[in-house]
Amino acid sequence: LEPQSKTLPTTKEKHIHVELGDRSYKIIVSGSEVTNATQAIVRMADQILDVLSDLTHAVILGDEAVASSVSEPLERELSGRKIRVSAAQIPSGETSKSVAELARLWEWMLSAGVDRRSVVIAIGGGVTGDLAGFAAATYARGLRVVQIPTTLLSMVDSSVGGKTGINLPGAKNMVGAFWQPSLVIADSITLNTLPDREYVSGLAEVIKYGVIEDPDFFHWLEVNIQSLICRDSGALREAISRSCESKARVVGDDERETSGRRAILNYGHTFAHAIEATAGYGQLLHGEAVAIGMQMAASLAIALGRADQNLLDRQTRLLVQSNLPIKFPEANVPGMLEIMRRDKKVEYGKLRFVLPTKIGHVELVGNIDESHVVAAIQAHV
């Protein structure tokens, strides 16, 4: 008989395969089948060792907000299994995605004796995942990395797909690398300490997947949104895994964003980036800006005759039920246009947007006149 893996999926644990040839990996979505945090940490260590059976040196890079709940218990658990562990904390917040913080990590990794067999374990939200992922991509020309996302946004978006990087002053995510993880563990038990506003903000990205490429999931969300708001563990597992399946399909088709397919993940984001930049970074959480941006994008699609009002009505209902904002009364329209003209999707000076045609389908649309964009913003102030 073959020895049984300790991490065979139970009926309540989902394994999602990200198909990228020799860079393929799995996402494990779990949460409710253990009753306490200690069991969850033991399970995480099992899951890591099941995939990385040659692990001898774990390099834990964790957001300070989850140090006592996740990083330190995992450090103790792995140490107890005779694995050498080096651990460093990353200060919470977007400012950690900086050249200075990256350089600090590189120097620390050198002093900690990190080598090419070491495995980075990134624990935290998108900030930690992006920074630690990029440190892993660059140190010693590339180390394996396990992503353990601890915000809803990072579980459904940033931990999957291999985009890593840091910001330059005035240019977000400007320096980075595609560096796929070896494993992603999204355990909803880690969300127990996440503030409500951060949690709700992550729901915007969840809803996005329904609009861009999964109409059945959108319908599921319409039926189950109240359970999701209450963080019901079964509903959460379903929402996280279906979001990850959606992202895995898109990334599997267009890993490096060359065909245009991956750009659909940016539905609502051209407006959102302009909202975030003109409101002053930090005023609105990213998911909040994405919610408003999806409303503006849907209105733009309707004005161009590409979608009908019913799409906007269904999207509005779901966003409102989720307690997400849908209006941006402080909109500085000229300022937003200025930012949008610098968007990566601009082609030959004309704005391009990801626009829906129906729930479950979007297209990248170019050659859009600015007057339509202005009207779409003004429809949601």
Q: Which stretch binds ligand NAD (CB under 6 A): 46-54, 98-106, 189-197, 215-223?
A: 189-197
Q: Given candidates 31, 149, 161, 356, which one binds ligand GLY under the rule CB under 6 A? A: 161
Query: Would you state the structure tokens that stand for residue 268, as one six-digit string?
Result: 């609502």
Under the binding rule (CB under 6 A), the answer on residue 193 touching ligand NAD is yes
Confirm whether 266 is a catalytic residue: yes
Which one, of 160, 164, 148, lies nearest residue 67 by Cα?
A: 148
Residues 6+ apart with CB under 8 A from 341: 349, 351
Q: Do the beta carbons of residue 18 and residue 25 sit within 8 Å?
A: yes
How far from the centroid of its chain's Cα atoms is residue 42's Cα? Answer: 25
Confirm whether 231 is a catalytic residue: no
Helix extents (H) in 117-262: 126-138, 152-153, 196-213, 215-229, 233-253
- Residue closer to ligand GLY by CB (options 114, 290) is 290
Which one, of 72, 94, 93, 139, lies nearest residue 112 by Cα?
A: 139
CB of 221 to ligand NAD, least distance (A): 19
- Residue closer to ligand NAD by CB (options 124, 210) is 124
**Contact map string, positions 251 to 280, toward ligand GLY, x by CB under 6 A:** -----------x--x---------------
**Contact map string, positions 115 to 134, toward ligand NAD, x by CB under 6 A:** ---------xxxxx-x----
Instruction: Give the torsion through C-alpha atoms of 96, 28, 241, 286, to 10 deg.
Output: 0
Angle, helices 72-80 vs 37-51, to 10°: value is 60
Confirm whether 327 is a catalytic residue: no
Q: Which stretch binds ligand GLY (CB under 6 A): 73-81, 89-97, 156-164, 358-366?
A: 156-164
Exactly one of 205, 255, 276, 288 is catalytic; name it: 205
Q: Tokens 């930012």, residue? A: 339
Q: Which stretch binds ligand NAD (CB under 6 A): 61-69, 273-281, 304-312, 346-354?
A: 61-69
Q: What one-character DSSP code corresponds to residue 307?
A: S
- Residue closer to ligand GLY by CB (options 262, 380) is 262
Residue 33 to residue 42: CA distance in whole angstroms? 13
Strand ranges in the chain using DSSP code E only, listed in sequence order: 14-18, 25-30, 57-63, 84-90, 119-124, 144-149, 163-168, 171-178, 183-187, 351-358, 361-368
Q: Which stretch binds ligand GLY (CB under 6 A): 49-57, 85-93, 157-165, 361-369?
A: 157-165
Helix extents (H) in 214-324: 215-229, 233-253, 269-279, 286-303, 309-321
Residue 186 to residue 191: CA distance in whole angstroms? 10
Under the binding rule (CB under 6 A), the answer on residue 163 touching ligand GLY is yes
Confirm whether 286 is a catalytic residue: yes
CB of 157 to ligand GLY, least distance (A): 5
Residue 152 to residue 229: CA distance in whole angstroms? 12
Side chain identity, residue 339:
I
Q: Count how many residues are written for the chain.
A: 381
Confirm whether 75 is a catalytic residue: no
Under the binding rule (CB under 6 A), the answer on residue 151 touching ligand NAD is yes
CB of 342 to ligand GLY, least distance (A): 18
Q: Given candidates 157, 238, 255, 276, which one binds ligand GLY under the rule CB under 6 A? A: 157
CB of 142 to ligand NAD, least distance (A): 17
Which option in ligand GLY, ligand NAD, none does residue 186 bind, with CB closer than 5 to 8 A by kind? none
Residue 87 to residue 126: CA distance in whole angstroms? 18
Binding residues vs ligand NAD (CB under 6 A): 63, 65-66, 92-94, 97, 124-128, 130, 150-151, 153-154, 157-158, 161, 163, 173, 190-191, 193-194, 198, 286
Binding residues vs ligand GLY (CB under 6 A): 157, 161, 163, 262, 265
> Which residue numbers are catalytic?
141, 163, 205, 247, 257, 262, 266, 269, 273, 286
